[in-house]
Amino acid sequence: MTRRRRRHLAVLAATTLVITGAGAGVARAEVPPDAPEQISNGDFSEGVTPWFSYGTGALDIVDGRLCTTVPGGLANPWDAGIGHDGVRLNAGAEYRLGFDISSAPGARVTAVLQLGTAPYTSYASVPAVAGTETQRVEQTFTVPDDNPNAQLIFQVGGTAAEQRLCLDNVSLRGGEAAPPYVPDTGPRVRVNQVGYLPGGPKNATVVTPSTEALPWQLRSAAGAVVASGQSTPRGVDAASGQPVQTIDFSTYQRPGTGYTLVADGETSHPFDISGDLYDRLRADSLQFFYAQRSGIAIDGDLIGEEYARPAGHLGVAPNQGDTAVPCQPGVCDYSLDVRGGWYDAGDHGKYVVNGGIAAYQLLSAFERTKTAETAAGGAALGDSTLRVPERGNAVPDILDEARWEIEFLLRMQVPAGKPLAGMAHHKIHDRAWTGLPLAPQDDPQPRELHPPSTAATLNLAAVAAQCARLFAPYDAPFAARCGTAASTAYAAAKAHPAIYASVNDGTGGGAYEDNNVTDEFYWAAVELYLTTGKKAYLDDLTGSALHTGDVFGAAGAFGWQSVAALGRLDLATVPNGLPAADRARIRASVTDAADRYLTALRAQAYGLPMPGDAGSYVWGSNSNVINNTVVLATAFDLSRDAKYRDGAVQATDYLLGRNALNMSYVTGWGEQNAHHQHSRIFGRQLDPSLPNPPAGSLAGGPNAALQDPYAAQLLNGCAPMFCYVDDINSYATNEVAINWNSALAWLASFLADQGAATAVAPRTCAVTYQVHGTWPDGSNTQVTVRNTGTAAINGWTVRYAFTGDQQVTQAWTAKVSQAGATVTARNESYNAKIAPGGSVTFGLLSRTGTLANPAPELITVNGGACTVS
């Protein structure tokens, strides 16, 4: 699903340069009528894009013109404006700026060409007196400096009366046409530049005009040929427009570093074959969230001194938030302390719907450790495994990181006693867009709460419900707080089921509009049911049409605007009380969707589980690739069928270099990797004193719609997979975002858990978990372990994790302990051996609280998963 269009603008300066060739008695510069046009969509025939505004009302297209309402009483002309980024200027070149303009009742307007970042140098200005009748304004001038990414701003503020202002036929001709952009794609043999798992699939793509199979060689770092074969012709790849062939070298499994693949006279970038290939990526992808934290000083000792900075948005000048943030005018009569959370993307805004899915995916990555046998009980995500300041507090670090966002989400809830109490404000961000780069602590803009929405409220309900069950073993008061917020939010959403965020509320931050919240209602009902087991939530989820429909999209299984699949995946994996037949149907729907993604993957010469048409390459396409891959990975966890694991592993190749651009989209990973992502914090491309995004940051990826002016001018006519540029100015193809990195973190954790990706071993044990009796605050359980293998078990350790808030209080015939949600039972001296076909039984008493406590479905013996009944 396409994300919102992101705009950025400069804080305008009041200075103006004298324009050469514009005054009386001065020879007018001649600009040929066929000189290059530097403005995109100046006649507004394609809508508003790529134009933006600040300090005005929404931009509308009326009778083919761009119109807006400008409030009266603004102190300065530059307090409101309409702008266009990505204007190419050449020093000494002559330009003609022209535009049609009207304003009622009438206003003075100045069109300014300027540098879009500090010090906001003005190159030229064109004044106009706009009245109720449309007039044409044209002026020629010479600019003094080169700038491939200047900004045109119509300064429209400073009038006493409110204005209705319209523009049309905006044109800037002159200078040089942008040279054809030819990306450096490196060697024509495209591989995963990080590497391959020893037992996993190993595929590459060769760009070649040859239609005959080509010989290939796999070479060691020393240059020795260690494997060879023939490629497979694939014709012209639809997504890239390239003639390609594919290479499969999966049979070679020897670990090593510095391998290269040679075909058609080209040598690939080097790569490794290793079972610990993705261990560091799990940590790197998660450290992105610490770097994006708001309201806390970032410790350079944890993630690198170049990323150290003071806390942002704690009300310390020049910040004007976030400890007491008022609403937009007319929205509410209170202020909220909404400190904390993660900065959403390249801006300083914080959005509940995007924060919701991002927090969910971190929580889901942890919850997977309770249900997936390859996750090894979550040891790799436990306390002191990540670079976060809370390490060492006996809480899994990934939960600590998720909590930073959840605390913010809870603060966005409308207080009791206020209109729409229990709802969640949709977002909080700057009143106007700011320029790049800008450190959070230096942001001078006023901050505003935007109206509550049903979508945001249901995101809060879903994530807070998930929080309640996952934090119960570690912080019961916080879990209870989450549970209360979840049920309150859900009730508020049911009372106000159709309050939607406005598509026009996009000044200073993204709109994140969503006018269909049936999926949010379904997801929230699922999470509340999984947490509480209450019939009311069960009735709501089973009564939804989404419960039995297909919820997995072809281009993207799920995203911030389409969340039904999150509920489906959790019903399939998290233990719950649904009838067995319904549970089987739900699980089958996951594997059915995974089969469709495998079909798509096999049809793509670059091996990604997404169709190759332009409509599939949207804003944040890389996250769609990953979310489809999450479905493949989940299908493997459910079925133990290696084809799904292999599909997930192969899909990752696309992200790490096996693509048309030969580009790893993850900063710091691969020989040629994205590192100039659109970000106000990580602006090294514009200011060498600043860092690039930290290692593990995911770029948005190819976007065939080219929804920013820089990409639109540079990449016009691109094949879908080529609609990307690693430049900070391209926010539509190259932004960072928390919901993209949360997807990467989930996938990286899954990949790291696969180790060498060896063959799936048959199970050699079976466990019967039987609750013999329950009472209001407890239960009596008997666990029987049977050896179904051919060798005796000499000493056993049984492990499983509770879903809810159970605590073991007593046990017999085994030494039983509990850490967090994980129960560990070890043999006594007299029952250590279990012969083939033999069994052993132990019992325990548990204290239960208010949450649902279904029987665990993953139980291991000596680290190996057993069949559970």
CA dihedral for 656, 659, 661, 665, sign (positive or negative): negative
Q: Which of 91, 120, 277, 272 is nearest to 193 (CA)?
A: 272
Q: Which of 367, 570, 646, 726 is catalytic?
A: 726
> Which helix (H) or strand (E) element contains residue 215?
strand 215-219
Residue 145 known to be catalytic? no
- Tokens at residue 423, please? 């709802």
Phi-psi region of 294 (alpha: psi -120 to 50; beta: other; left: phi over 0): beta
Q: Which amino acid is at 425?
A: H
d(CA 516, CA 631): 23
d(CA 375, CA 274): 18
- pLDDT of 748 reads 98
- pLDDT of 29 reads 56
d(CA 450, CA 503): 13
- Tokens at residue 572, please? 């399939």
Phi and psi at 487, nearest 5°, equal -65, -35
Q: What is the mean pLDDT of each successive set of 10 residues along the chain, which is 869 residues long?
A: 35 30 42 92 88 86 95 94 91 95 97 86 95 96 91 96 98 88 96 98 98 98 98 98 98 98 98 98 98 98 97 96 96 98 97 98 98 96 97 97 98 98 98 89 95 98 98 97 98 98 91 97 98 98 97 95 98 97 98 98 98 97 98 98 98 98 98 97 94 98 93 93 96 97 98 97 97 93 98 98 96 97 98 98 96 96 97
Measuring CA to CA, how many Å separate 856 from each of 33, 361, 369, 532, 802?
74, 21, 12, 16, 6
Note whether 366 and 398 are within 8 A (CB).
yes
DSSP code at position 266: E
d(CA 511, CA 507): 8
Residue 735 known to be catalytic? yes
Q: What is the pTM of this model?
A: 0.90
Q: Which of 168, 347, 367, 753 is catalytic?
A: 347
3-state SS, residue 421: coil
DSSP code at position 442: G
DSSP code at position 310: P
Burial 806-839 (b: 16+ CB within 10 A, else e): bbbeebebbebebebbbbbbebeeeeeebeeeee
Q: Which of 519, 520, 646, 735 is catalytic?
A: 735
DSSP code at position 275: T
d(CA 87, CA 149): 5
CA angle, 854 then 859 then 861, to 5°: 160
Q: Which of 84, 678, 708, 727 is catalytic?
A: 678
Note whether 794 and 349 are within 8 A (CB).
no
The CA-based diameter of the chain, rounded to the nearest angstrom, is: 108
Measuring CA to CA, how many Å separate 860 from each of 532, 573, 868?
26, 16, 9
